[in-house]
A and B are shown apart, each in its own frame.
Chain A
Amino acid sequence: MKKVKMVCAGFGGQGVLSVGQLIAMMAMNKSYLVSWMPSYGPEMRGGTANCHVVIDEHDVGSPIISDGITHLLAMNQPALKKFLPRVAQGGVIVANASMVKRDDSRPDIQWVMVDFYQIATEAGNQRTQNMAALGSLVRQLDGFSESDGFNIILEKFGDKNPEMVEVNQRAFTLAYHS
């Protein structure tokens, strides 16, 4: 597996930290080495949130991703603006089409524009936008399948909130196949 250097970014409350955490858990369950590092500084207090997830077979190295982002989840325009310059050539950007405008200055990037708001609404709960984002991200990750995503949602929410599992999985699947 090629090293994954993923950044998930958005407003606080959009659930980007959870998306990163679920991907880290999926990687851990596959016995990869992984680190998950949240932003906790002043930027968090400004209402934005992001996390860095590094996945590797041999050595995570630095848990902080300064450049060479292989996968960026941009839930809003400021997130895209902030991290776009740090996305590697040939990297993937999964963007929330309801809030983010595609930037044509980087044709080398694979743009995955998905309207998470619409998918979450269709799934039956607007708070599942981040699970839709998870679906789109997992689709772009080598070595991870739809059922890996399904299982991790169950693992994360199963005990506490069985009814949320179903609606989250629905949003996940809709985005995965969009």
Chain B
Amino acid sequence: MSKVLMKGNEAIAQAAIAAGCDAFFGYPITPQNEICEYMSKYLAKSGGAFVQAESEIAAINMVYGAAGAGARTMTSSSSPGIALKQEGISYCAGAELPCVIVAISRGGPGLGGILPAQGDYNQATRGGGNGDYKVVVLAPNGVQEATEMMRDAFLLSEKYRNPVMVMADGVIGQMMEPVEINTDPLPKFEKPWAATGDSQSRGTRNVINSLFLNPVDLENHNIALRKKYDLIEENEVQVDLYMMDDADVALVAYGTPSRIVKSAIEEMRAEGIKVGLIRPKTLYPFPFKQINAAADKVKFMLTAELSMGQMVHDVRLAVNGKVPVYFYGRAGGMIFEPKEISDAVKSHLGGE
């Protein structure tokens, strides 16, 4: 198949359909509206169900229901809408329901703005819902990768019976790039736990629930979840290293900013400054080991985000005091230029 020029949001929706998404529940919000639009137009044609819910909260709870019935299901929204979904995401995590949440981020807090931002790193990786739970978070840097991560997201969600979020900033949702969507059938995981209405043939009733009133049962559930997260942290980290072999300085960035940082690296390399990029593709599980190892070889790290500084705290945890970790960020829909990154690197180099 040859490449087609597609908007990130539409490509994400198309990739979800190609990955066998059975049911989509959404509610409009800029800058992710094209996902709902595309799904409303095409999902039914491929045998799936599209429902425009009455709210974001309704949508995530419909996902809970559909996932509980064994469907491959997803929802999408943007920052304030993702905030509304947090309770439902916690319930999905508690009931161990596989589902995919696409978050096309904009500025906050509150209603914020509609332009691209990354102020939802903490919301995504720490969760806004209650309880001990984790959501796998994938962070693409472009349209092609966003479509590949949709496949990953469905696979990981079913492999671990856990919600998976694909978080991209508004740039990736809105821009068009050439894309080739993988249409190979995605394996279907057996779901013997699903509530499918055939308890008679099974001999037992399947109950989808996150309520454990007996503290012993709940602790055991918490321990089992923790073991699952340990497995995820052990096996599912994805990180891209660019020009890190001889780097004196490591820049850390994800999503669209990682591309701006790459442009800055090219400019700095041309001036003889040895800079490399560490790009986490999974925000949870976070590449702690890889960043810690890189800290042995560089003078300092600088994290660049479209926020006032969120991922930088994970980078500092990873580096564990080995070298300084600086931060450069813009927010509110303002996007830094390569030169701002170069200037920040140079100011810290000069200060030594």
Q: Enumerate chain B residues within 8 angstroms of A59, measured Cβ to Cβ.
A: 262, 266
Report if B115 contacts A (CB, 8 A). Answer: yes
On whether the beta carbons of A41 and B175 are closer than 8 Å, the reply is no
In the complex, the answer to whether A28 meets B178 with C-beta atoms within 8 Å is yes
Specify which chain A residues have a CB less than 8 angstroms from the CB of B114 in the assembled complex: 40-42
- List the A side residues contacting B142 at CB < 8 Å: 35
Q: Which residue of B lies closest to A44 (CB)?
A: B114
Residues of the A chain whose Cβ atoms lie less than 8 Å from the Cβ of B262: 59, 61
Q: Which 7 A-B pairs have the closest CB atoms?
A: A61-B263, A36-B176, A66-B337, A37-B175, A62-B260, A28-B178, A41-B115
Contact-size category for B: 20 to 34
A contacts with B, residue count (CB < 8 A): 21
Q: Find out whether the CB atom of B177 lies under 8 angstroms from the CB atom of A35.
A: yes
CB contacts under 8 Å to B, within A30-71, are 33-38, 40-42, 59-64, 66-67
| A61 in contact with B30 (CB, 8 Å) | no
B256 contacts which chain A residues (CB < 8 A)? 62-64
Write the residues of chain B forming the contact surface with A, with a CB cutoff of 8 angstroms: 3, 5, 30-31, 113-115, 142, 170-171, 174-178, 256, 259-260, 262-263, 266, 333, 335, 337-339
Q: Nearest chain-B residue to A65 (Cβ)?
A: B337
Question: Cβ of B339: which chain A residues have Cβ within 8 Å of it?
Answer: 67
18 example contacts (A-B, Cβ-Cβ < 8 A) are as follows A21-B5, A24-B5, A35-B176, A36-B175, A36-B176, A40-B174, A41-B113, A41-B115, A42-B114, A59-B262, A60-B259, A61-B260, A62-B260, A62-B338, A63-B175, A63-B177, A63-B259, A66-B337
Nearest Cβ on chain A to B247's Cβ, whole angstroms = 18
User: Is A109 an interface position by the 8 A CB rule?
Assistant: no
What residues of B have a CB within 8 angstroms of the CB of A4 in the complex?
none
Query: Among A36, A63, A67, which residue has the most Cβ atoms of chain B within 10 A?
Result: A63
Contact yes or no, B171 A64, CB < 8 A: yes
Binding site for B on A (CB under 8 A): 21, 24-25, 28, 33-38, 40-42, 59-64, 66-67
Pick from A28, A62, A64: contact of B5, CB under 8 Å: A28
Which of A21, A25, A40, A61 makes the CB contact (< 8 A) with B259? Answer: A61
Which residues of the partner chain B approach A28 to less than 8 Å between Cβ atoms? 3, 5, 178
Q: Please indicate the chain A residues that have their CB under 8 angstroms from the CB of B31 in the complex.
A: 40
Known: A21-B5, A40-B31. A64 touches B177 (CB 8 A): no
Smallest CB gap from A61: residue in B = B263
Q: How far is the CB of B275 from chain A (nearest CB, A)?
A: 14
B337: contacting residue among A36, A41, A60, A67, CB under 8 A: A67
Given the complex of chains A and B, what is the CA–CA distance between A21 and B335 in angstroms? 22
Kindly state the separation between the CA atoms of A42 and B238 in the bound complex, as whole angstroms: 36
Asked if B30 contacts A36 (CB within 8 A), the reply is no
Chain B residues whose C-beta falls within 8 Å of the C-beta of A33 in the assembled complex: 178
Most buried by A among B174, B176, B178, B256: B176
A35, B256: Cα distance in complex, Å: 12
Could you list 10 further interchain pairs (A-B, Cβ under 8 angstroms) beyond the known A41-B115, A63-B171, A63-B177?
A21-B5, A34-B178, A38-B174, A41-B113, A42-B114, A61-B262, A62-B256, A63-B175, A64-B256, A64-B260
